[in-house]
């Protein structure tokens, strides 16, 4: 059986990380620094225009537009935090990638059941990346299509005007020319498109990275679980138990590396959801009250939910796999065979497996219970916003 090519399986992820210069293999030198300042300098410049628009709306007491502009402001803040953490933990991410590649290289030496598990996991990782890239691309596409469709609508009505990528106030010297000067309009449109593109790229790289690593850890634990099924039906029980212990140490070490990389990131993801989700929902509700169906808000809401749900779901799955390993160790048939050494080793394995194999944030374990609590808190914040501003 052929080995799995890591670069092909994770092609979307790795290409995105190379584009925005956060791939672990990217050389950090003066040229990297120059590229970084160009890419994120332009990104920050567009952010300054958004902040200017937000402040102008607050001064003019246009609270609806102020809430609308708070969405890209929050996106910029969390994009920069996520990006800085990806750079900070690049060595750990490189180590995790090296472990996955090493596991893929072992496929020809595995038995058929273990091969099937790891092949299925790799296919699922590829499937997740494809669908996540489609969702993030849809965010960019919706803004483009909205401006194009509105432009066509105005042309059909004989009243053509420039329709921006994202409606906002610019400083006066730009604002007075953006609707009658094609070059100024092109400048503003390109800046808004660039800001959204960089945001999409960072979320494409940062969000699925942890869940994909967790899914691989699940495959490691599943292989251990399979090895327990016939542990006492063959000879060399002690040798095969020793191999299982090594596999478990390998899996637990891999999970520890994931925690090392993503503990802070997932704490920020939870806080990001609590801030952005109520704001976007409130902005969408206000737009709907005005007779507007802001489809771009729907995409942002869905993407925000996915950003929070994915790590919670796969961390919960990882916890379940850890529990399945513990149960498999207990139900392997040790009671039918008198082997004191094997029983002692099994006892150690079962005791170690009592510790949840979960990914944690700073203050909590990332799982579906945490997701439920975060949704409940976001709903409370949304109700408070409605009570304060309505």
Provide the pLDDT confidence category of residue 357 given band limits of 50, 70 and 90: confident
Number of structural domains (the chain) is 1
Residues 358 and 365 sit within 8 Å (Cβ to Cβ): yes
For residue 311, count CB atoms less than 10 angstroms from its CB and return exposed for 0-12, middle for 13-18, buried for 19 or more: buried
Helices (H), the chain: 6-9, 11-19, 30-59, 63-88, 90-105, 112-156, 172-175, 182-206, 209-228, 237-289, 295-330, 340-353, 368-389
Residue 274 lies in a domain: yes
Q: DSSP string spanning 251-313?
A: HHHHHHHHHHHHHHHHHHHHHHHHHHHHHHHHHHHHHHHTT---HHHHHHHHHHHHHHHHHHH
More confident residue, 65 or 113: 113
Average pLDDT estimate for 345-373:
83
Percent of the chain whose predicted confidence (pLDDT) is above 70:
96
Average pLDDT estimate for 142-169:
75
SS3 365: strand
Q: What is the pLDDT of residue 2?
A: 59
Residue 372 lies in a domain: yes
| Res. 293: pLDDT tops 70 | no
Q: What is the pLDDT of residue 287?
A: 72
| Res. 129: pLDDT tops 80 | yes
| Res. 221: pLDDT tops 80 | yes
298-318 pLDDT tens trace = 877 888 888 888 888 988 988
Average pLDDT estimate for 119-147:
83
124: nearest Cα among 260, 226, 4, 304: 4
Residue 128 lies in a domain: yes
SS3 29: coil
Task: Give dist(CA 22, CA 202) in Å, integer.
Answer: 9
Residues 294 and 284 sit within 8 Å (Cβ to Cβ): yes
Residue 229 lies in a domain: yes
Average pLDDT estimate for 252-266:
87
| Res. 235: pLDDT tops 80 | no
Q: What is the pLDDT of residue 390?
A: 60
Alpha-carbon separation of residue 294 from 21, 81, 301, 307 (angstroms) = 33, 28, 11, 20
Residue 1 lies in a domain: no
Percent of the chain whose predicted confidence (pLDDT) is above 90:
1
Average pLDDT estimate for 359-375:
84
Residue 334 lies in a domain: yes
| Res. 291: pLDDT tops 70 | no
Residues 272 and 75 sit within 8 Å (Cβ to Cβ): no
More confident residue, 386 or 220: 220
Q: Considering the entire predicted model, what is its pTM?
A: 0.85
Q: DSSP letter for 52, please.
A: H
SS3 5: coil
More confident residue, 62 or 313: 313
- Please state the separation of Cα 246 from the chain's center in Å: 30
12-46 pLDDT tens trace = 888 888 888 888 888 888 888 898 899 889 899 88
264-285 pLDDT tens trace = 888 888 888 888 888 888 777 7
Write out the residue range of the structural domain in which residue 188 sits: 6-388
186-208 pLDDT tens trace = 888 888 888 888 888 888 888 78
What is the token pair recorded at 255?
A: 């999970």
Q: What is the pLDDT of residue 22?
A: 85
**What is the pLDDT of the chain when averaged over all its residues?**
82
69-121 pLDDT tens trace = 778 888 888 888 888 888 888 888 888 888 888 888 888 887 888 888 888 88
């Amino acid at each position: 059986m052929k080995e799995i090519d890591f670069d092909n399986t994770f092609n979307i992820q790795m290409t995105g990380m190379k584009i925005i210069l956060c791939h672990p293999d990217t050389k950090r030198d003066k040229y990297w620094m120059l590229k970084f300042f160009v890419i994120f300098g332009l990104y920050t410049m567009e952010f300054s225009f958004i902040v200017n628009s937000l402040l102008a709306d607050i001064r003019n007491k246009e609270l609806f537009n102020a809430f609308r502009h708070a969405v890209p402001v929050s996106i910029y803040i969390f994009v920069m935090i996520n990006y800085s953490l990806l750079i900070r933990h690049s060595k750990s991410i490189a180590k995790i990638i090296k472990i996955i590649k090493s596991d893929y290289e072992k496929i020809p030496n595995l038995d058929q059941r273990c091969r099937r598990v790891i092949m299925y996991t790799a296919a699922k990782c590829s499937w997740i990346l494809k669908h996540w890239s489609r969702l993030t691309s849809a965010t960019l596409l919706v803004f483009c299509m909205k401006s194009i469709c509105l432009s066509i609508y105005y042309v059909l009505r004989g009243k053509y005007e420039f329709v921006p990528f994202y409606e906002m106030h610019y400083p006066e010297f730009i604002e007075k020319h953006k609707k009658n000067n094609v070059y100024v309009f092109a400048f503003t449109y390109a800046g808004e498109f660039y800001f959204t593109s960089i945001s999409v790229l960072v979320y494409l790289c940062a969000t699925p990275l942890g869940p994909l690593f967790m899914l691989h850890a699940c495959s490691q634990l599943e292989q251990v679980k399979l090895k327990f099924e016939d542990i006492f039906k063959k000879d060399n029980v002690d040798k095969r138990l020793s191999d299982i212990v090594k596999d478990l140490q390998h899996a637990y070490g891999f999970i520890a590396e994931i925690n090392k990389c993503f503990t802070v990131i997932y704490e920020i993801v939870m806080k990001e959801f609590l801030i952005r989700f109520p704001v976007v929902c409130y902005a969408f509700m206000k737009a709907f009250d005005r007779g507007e169906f802001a489809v771009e808000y729907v995409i942002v809401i869905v993407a925000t939910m996915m950003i929070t749900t994915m790590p919670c779901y796969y961390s919960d799955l990882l916890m379940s796999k850890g529990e399945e390993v513990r149960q498999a160790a207990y139900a392997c048939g040790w009671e039918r065979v008198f082997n004191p050494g094997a029983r002692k080793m099994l006892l150690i394995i079962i005791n170690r497996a009592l510790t949840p194999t979960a990914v944690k944030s700073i203050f909590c374990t990332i799982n579906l219970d945490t997701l439920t609590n975060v949704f409940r808190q976001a709903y409370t914040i949304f109700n408070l916003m409605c009570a304060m501003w309505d």
